[in-house]
Structure 1
Amino acid sequence: MAPRVTLQTIADRVGVSRMTVSNAFSKPDQLSAALRERILAAAREVGYVGPDPAARALAKGTTGAVGIVLTSSLRFAFTDLVATSLLGAIAEELGPTGLALTLLTSSDDGAVIPARDVAMDGALVYSCDPTSTAVEYLTRRRLPLVYIDQDPVAGIPAVNVDDRSGARAAAQHLLDLGHRRIGLLLSGPHGSYGLITPEDLTVDGHASRQRLLGWRDALDAAGVTPMLARQAGATLEQARDGARLLLDRPDRPTAMLCFSDAVANGARQAAEDLGIRVPDELSLVGFDDNPLAAQIRPALTTVRQDVQAKGRVAAAALTRAIADSRAGRPVTAEHVLLPTELVVRDSTAPPPAA
């Protein structure tokens, strides 16, 4: 068996102290460039990659990683265009800090519970049920937290977009075009599938509630009672099925407001299946303005949110919170509300003549 390579091995090889070798890896600014390169070259020759990360984390009292907690499965982070854009912006903002990003589910039914067991310096909580055990564990661990698309909580930094204002503008756009038979297609993993009445209407999650409030602000003011349906989940097929509940009926709506662009795309496909032309017979409005919105045909009228800015602001807030926590300072719990903008494209038009 080959002898174990340690810091002392490199020190003896180069003729310097063990601390100097350690500084070459952890405090490079304390060495000249030439000396550090000699040490690193010696390390490469004997196959030494650096101090053990776990031991280094224990000594420094930091893990060098932050978590982001998702209510959905981790697959959602790689398949949802809004989620992937958000994660990319967060990772880019964290890059210069040296902090790694760890994806965590909110699962609590296994031997390992990520929010309880994974080492991290802080965490982003993204569109999660605030009563979930994952959020509870993170809070009990006293980790610095930042909420994204969550109801703001005193003492915790939060980043949201103005969902309500954006949704209100979307509904008003349809009303100004002359629509009065308007359907709402709601999304969310916690809702039951089917047609619903205004009396039975409940939604889960901060963004869902705010978008519904915005839609109702405009529709109620105009005296319009919407037709309502909830899809069973967040997949394209589930959006198509939910849309068919509204479209496959004699009194179908002439316009639909959808929780997201992905949901609106499902509604567009359902309309196509039924031979309903968009926008001649059905106007569609999405939310988010993800890349899909401009690519599908007809191009989708939607509400734009700046997902990149949301990710950057959230990551910066978390790095500040971690720094404040390490320094023993109170965390600056700023609640940021980013603007939204109605983007009118080709999927909306006046209703067909009666």
Structure 2
Amino acid sequence: MSRVTLQTIADKVGVSRMTVSNAFSRPDQLSAEMRRTILAAAADLGYVGPDPSARALARGTTGAVGVLLTESVGAAFRDPIAAAFFGAVAEELAPTGLAVVLLPSTGSEGTIPARDIPMDGALVYGCAADYPAVGWLVKRRLPLVFVDGEPVDGAASVLLDEQHGARLGAQHLLDLGHRRIGILTMNVAVPPGFAPDPASAGSGFVARERQIGWMEPLDRAGVTPVVMEVHDNAEPYVSEGARRLLAGPDRPTAVLCFSDLMAAAVVHAAEELGLRVPQDVSVVGFDDSPLARRLRPTLTTIRQDFAAKGKAAAAALTSSIARFRAGEAPEPQQHRILVDLVVRDSTAPPASAD
């Protein structure tokens, strides 16, 4: 049987070769009915479409965008926050025809995904700007959008309003009457010789922003918090930090946490020490992940809109790619995603006056 080409399909349908090509690569140029007719004819002839490699070479594009992670792909999908973000990105990119490639920070046998995988641009998700894989993307001069991390010059960014969210949490505790307040957060500077979980690599920027937000209302109220910093966002560091924060003689009556994960560690540490939440200690998280609703008591936290963040990141990246293809200078806009306070069962007034 002779090889089926675009011209073969065009002859069968009675249209031009360009019309058949548009059915595969530029569907917006055809009516829905015409495209269905052409694709049906192609299927009858056993034609699956133009060769992706050849099409990418002809266009000068790959049809794919990367999402750089600080951890393994499997670990990222086990993280409900990351999974919600990826889903929103994929949904927003679906109409564009761009495929999403998840890029772990390191590969196997010397491969570096950020260096080696063809892509038209990338989202840098929660990575520090000095992370080695980020350096490879910058060297490739790809359009980049930084999400939940400090951006580099010339790149767009999508960030939560971290300071506002932290202020809301701190003010909530002050309004309840708490004056002995603790903070469980990430250490913005890793000590010499310490090798943290790569997933914590981009947390320094976010931790600094939240620290600023927490301290503003606390300073105004004359409250000096007890701050417990951990160097890694994983067990056993978080649990140990939570226990140390609650075990002291002047334990706080309320704790502000860097994340819902840390808030859960505080709740569990309180249980181990015979303390009740919120009667003996109130707890405020950050993110409003599914964990916040599963925890008992349910967690007061700062809600971030994962869908809005994913959509904003995808839109910023497609815009950056379009400007790059048109030979235009990058437009390093900063997109701020609003957050709000969700009050649940883990906070209450202190049992007695401080």
TM-score by length of 1: 0.85
Distance 1:166 1:35 in 2: 51
Q: 2:5 — aligned with what?
A: 7
Is the 1:57–1:63 contact (alpha carbons within 8 Å) kept by the matching residues of 2?
Answer: yes
Per-residue CA shift, 1:280-335, capped at 9, x if unaligned?
Answer: 00100001122332332222111122221111111111111111111112232211
Per-residue CA shift, 1:31-51, capped at 9, x if unaligned?
Answer: 787776565445435643222
Q: Residues 294 and 32 from structure 1, CA distance in 2 versus in 1: closer, same or farther, beyond 3 angstroms?
A: closer
Once the two structures are TM-superposed, the CA of residue 138 in structure 1 deviates from its matched residue by 1.1
- Residue 336 of structure 2: SS of its match in structure 1? strand
Q: 2:259 — aligned with what?
A: 260
Distance 1:37 1:204 in 2: 48
Is the 1:284–1:301 contact (alpha carbons within 8 Å) kept by the matching residues of 2?
Answer: yes
Report the AA paired with residue 302 of structure 1: T
- Residue 310 of structure 2: SS of its match in structure 1? helix
Once the two structures are TM-superposed, the CA of residue 228 in structure 1 deviates from its matched residue by 2.6
Is the 1:7–1:21 contact (alpha carbons within 8 Å) kept by the matching residues of 2?
Answer: no
Q: 2:346 — aligned with what?
A: 347
Alignment of 1:259-298 (within 5 A): 259-298=258-297
Query: Where do 5+ consecutive residues of structure 1 fail to align?
Result: 193-202
Q: Residues 36 and 301 from structure 1, CA distance in 2 versus in 1: closer, same or farther, beyond 3 angstroms?
A: closer
Report the AA paired with residue 120 of structure 1: M
Q: Residues 99 and 35 from structure 1, CA distance in 2 versus in 1: closer, same or farther, beyond 3 angstroms?
A: closer
Q: Residues 233 and 75 from structure 1, CA distance in 2 versus in 1: closer, same or farther, beyond 3 angstroms?
A: farther
Distance 2:211 2:31 in 1: 60
Q: 1:144 — aligned with what?
A: 143
- Residue 302 of structure 2: SS of its match in structure 1? strand
Q: Residues 28 and 351 from structure 1, CA distance in 2 versus in 1: closer, same or farther, beyond 3 angstroms?
A: closer
Distance 1:228 1:303 in 2: 19
Distance 1:132 1:158 in 2: 16
Is the 2:287–2:303 contact (alpha carbons within 8 Å) kept by the matching residues of 1?
Answer: yes
Does 1:307 find its partner at 2:306?
A: yes
Q: Residues 47 and 181 from structure 1, CA distance in 2 versus in 1: closer, same or farther, beyond 3 angstroms?
A: same
Alignment of 1:30-109 (within 5 A): 40-41=39-40, 43-45=42-44, 47-107=46-106
Q: Residues 177 and 10 from structure 1, CA distance in 2 versus in 1: closer, same or farther, beyond 3 angstroms?
A: same
Report the AA paired with residue 329 of structure 1: E
Q: Residues 222 and 39 from structure 1, CA distance in 2 versus in 1: closer, same or farther, beyond 3 angstroms?
A: closer
Distance 2:125 2:119 in 1: 16
Report the AA paired with residue 297 of structure 1: R
- Residue 158 of structure 1: SS of its match in structure 2? strand
Once the two structures are TM-superposed, the CA of residue 222 in structure 1 deviates from its matched residue by 3.0
- Residue 101 of structure 2: SS of its match in structure 1? strand
Distance 1:88 1:347 in 2: 29
Once the two structures are TM-superposed, the CA of residue 30 in structure 1 deviates from its matched residue by 6.3
Alignment of 1:78-227 (within 5 A): 78-107=77-106, 110-187=109-186, 191=190, 204-227=203-226
Q: 1:197 — aligned with what?
A: none
Tell me the C-alpha RMSD between the 2 structures.
2.9
Is the 2:65–2:101 contact (alpha carbons within 8 Å) kept by the matching residues of 1?
Answer: yes
Report the AA paired with residue 286 of structure 1: G
Q: How many positions carry a matched residue from both structures?
A: 342
Is the 1:5–1:48 contact (alpha carbons within 8 Å) kept by the matching residues of 2?
Answer: no
Distance 1:37 1:100 in 2: 22
Is the 2:63–2:99 contact (alpha carbons within 8 Å) kept by the matching residues of 1?
Answer: yes
Report the AA paired with residue 320 of structure 2: A
Report the AA paired with residue 281 of structure 2: L
Distance 2:243 2:34 in 1: 70
- Residue 340 of structure 2: SS of its match in structure 1? strand
Once the two structures are TM-superposed, the CA of residue 168 in structure 1 deviates from its matched residue by 1.7
Report the AA paired with residue 269 of structure 1: H
Does 1:26 find its partner at 2:16?
A: no
Distance 2:76 2:209 in 1: 23
Q: Residues 34 and 231 from structure 1, CA distance in 2 versus in 1: closer, same or farther, beyond 3 angstroms?
A: closer
Q: Residues 97 and 15 from structure 1, CA distance in 2 versus in 1: closer, same or farther, beyond 3 angstroms?
A: closer
- Residue 205 of structure 1: SS of its match in structure 2? helix
Q: Residues 336 and 28 from structure 1, CA distance in 2 versus in 1: closer, same or farther, beyond 3 angstroms?
A: closer
Report the AA paired with residue 347 of structure 1: S
Query: Where do 5+ consecutive residues of structure 2 fail to align?
Result: 192-201
Percent identical pairs in the alignment equals: 54
Report the AA paired with residue 240 of structure 1: S
Is the 1:108–1:134 contact (alpha carbons within 8 Å) kept by the matching residues of 2?
Answer: no
- Residue 246 of structure 1: SS of its match in structure 2? helix
Distance 2:306 2:318 in 1: 19
Report the AA paired with residue 75 of structure 1: G
Q: Residues 27 and 282 from structure 1, CA distance in 2 versus in 1: closer, same or farther, beyond 3 angstroms?
A: closer
